[in-house]
Amino acid sequence: MKNYNRMPEKFLWGGATAANQYEGGWDEDGRGPSIADVLTGGSVDKERRLTPPAPLPEEFYPNHQATDFYHHWKEDIALFAEMGFKVYRFSISWSRVFPNGDEETPNEKGLKFYDNVIDELRKYNIEPLITISHYENPLHLSLEYGGWKSRKMIDFYLRFAKVLFERYKGKVKYWLTFNEINMLTQDFGAVFCAGMLDPKDVCEQSRYQAMHHQLVASALAVSMAHEINPEFMLGCMLAYHNGYPYTCHPDDILYAQQFGQIHNFIAGDVHVRGYYPGFAARYFEEHGIQLEVLQEDKEILKKGTVDFFTISYYSSSCVSVTKDGEKTAGNGSDNLKNPYLKASDWGWQIDATGLRYVLNQIYDRYQIPIMIVENGLGAVDQLTEDGKIHDDYRIEYMRRHIEQMKEAIHDGVDLIGYTCWGCTDLVSASTGEFKKRYGLIYVNKNDDGTGDFSRIRKDSFYWYKKVIESCGEEF
């Protein structure tokens, strides 16, 4: 009889990072610039700026060095192993493998770096979980083709994906096609997801067309991967927008449902079911969005459905048809403050119970395995005089979310993995800060560019080690 009080024995505990926020080495060994390399630093009060076609000498670009995994990979993977990681989610920098993105042949030096990373993970029996595209389109593809509004991007992406699938078919099992693809339902996604640098392309028409191209590319990649190795497991990845009705007024109830449909389930349904849901057609019609969809696209989407579903989950918000209410921050739009929740230093509302709600919602809809591949707390960490970081607030955040994961499993949800964001400190995607720290490992790097990149284990490091050792019993 199943013991509902325990996590599955083969549960994949681990951590997650992204190349553009963590790797560094932005111009080494033949790597070309990505869109992240022309994004300046910023803060809560200062937006990041794009400076194409090249970095400006007077500006600071935090992603150039990030927290320097490129020169610390061996040390960092040893730390992951010390924590007991079963899986490590990371992305491969497209412009490290194809510097411009449209070359016929890859950069062997770039691939060699990932050979070393994957082999080192394998040495410690850590399962690689690779995101093929994570907010890091080659800059050339943006300047020359306009990013993902161009259908030509599909072929460039598939060439990149094929190289990875064939090279690592005996070493990597789990793949994610695109990071947070549904962020294209929001302005944020125009640059980060689609690499569209023209301000005119922030509009819905361009964003949804770009998302369609990515959905087609994802489906083709899934089909290709399964042909190369039937053992491959291909997943989608969504930034899950959990928007509660702000009031019990029926209009707010309906609005919250529609909010979830648009921001979560258009992309989710195409990935899992292989077709656009009915409500998408109405939304496109009412918003003047005319997608260019080729006849063969429908069959492509139908054939290339994913094997598992993954999400980032940090917080929740409230939504209202009236838009009335105090605004707050978060990984999404329409963020109204929930009076029943506390918030992080950056205003993201902490809602562990919401994770259980979300996991049930996804599993009820799709009935395929789920991974949480981003969950964590961005906070200001203080280094003590004796060189320690006492981050009880991060431990409490993770503990509460793991507790709700266990409840969701008891509910019947097929949850197979959890990778906290980010297992080391890295550059914040939204603000470009080092100050906004997520890691269980402290990296000595600061917003003014100073720091020697030394690594320090936080209290959360030792706590998470116990969680993994006990498979979630000691949390």
* pLDDT, position 322: 87
Report which residue type is found at 277: P
Task: Classify the C-alpha dihedral 121-310-274-283 as positive or negative.
Answer: negative
Q: Is residue 474 part of a domain?
A: no
**Among this protein's residues, is 396 annotated catalytic?**
no
Q: Do the domain assignments include residue 150? A: yes
- Please give the chain's pLDDT, 475 residues, in tens: 455 568 999 999 999 999 999 999 999 999 999 999 999 999 888 899 999 999 999 999 999 999 999 999 999 999 999 999 999 999 999 999 999 999 999 999 999 999 999 999 999 999 999 999 999 999 999 999 999 999 999 999 999 999 999 999 999 999 999 999 999 999 999 999 999 999 999 999 999 999 999 999 999 999 999 999 999 999 999 999 999 999 999 999 999 999 999 999 999 999 999 999 999 999 999 999 999 999 999 999 999 999 999 999 999 999 999 877 787 777 666 679 999 999 998 889 999 999 999 999 999 999 999 999 999 999 999 999 999 999 999 999 999 999 999 999 999 999 999 999 989 999 999 899 999 999 999 999 999 999 999 999 999 999 999 999 999 998 8
The two tokens of residue 95 are 């412009």
- Tell me what pLDDT residue 345 has: 86
Other residues' Cβ atoms within 10 Å of the Cβ of residue 121: 23
Residue 321 is assigned to a structural domain of this protein: no
Residue 75 φ/ψ, nearest 5 degrees: -65, -45
Extract the runs of DSSP E, i.e. beta strands, from 313-351: 317-319
CA angle 256, 258, 263 (to 5 degrees): 95
- Amino acid 72: pLDDT: 98
pLDDT at 330: 73
Could you tell me if residue 271 is inside a domain? no
Structural domains of the chain, count: 1
Task: Note the pLDDT of residue 332.
Answer: 64
Catalytic site includes residue 180: yes
Residue 367 lies in a domain: yes
Active-site hit among 23, 127, 374, 433: 374
**pLDDT for the residue 475:** 83
Q: What is the pLDDT of residue 140?
A: 98
- Domain for residue 219, yes or no? yes
Domain that holds residue 437: 12-240+349-469
Q: How high is the pLDDT of residue 334?
A: 61
Structural contact between residues 216 and 297, judged by C-beta atoms closer than 8 angstroms = yes
Cα gap 135→133, rounded to integer Å? 6
Angle at 439 between CA 85 and CA 169, to 5 degrees: 40
In this predicted model, what pLDDT tens digit does every residue of 270-326 receive, in sequence order?
999 999 999 999 999 999 999 999 999 999 999 999 999 999 999 999 999 987 778
Tens digit of pLDDT for each residue in 334-355? 679 999 999 998 889 999 999 9
CATH number of the domain that residue 463 is part of: 3.20.20.80
Helix (H) or strand (E) holding 415: strand 415-421
309 in a domain, yes or no?
no
Give residue 323's pLDDT.
73
90 is a domain residue:
yes
Catalytic residue among 180, 227, 231, 474: 180
State residue 1's pLDDT score: 43
Q: Own/partner pairs for 160-164, CB < 8 Å, 24+ apart?
A: 160/94, 160/97, 160/98, 160/101, 160/106, 160/132, 161/132, 161/221, 161/224, 161/225, 162/224, 162/228, 163/97, 163/106, 163/111, 164/92, 164/97, 164/130, 164/132
pLDDT at 324: 74
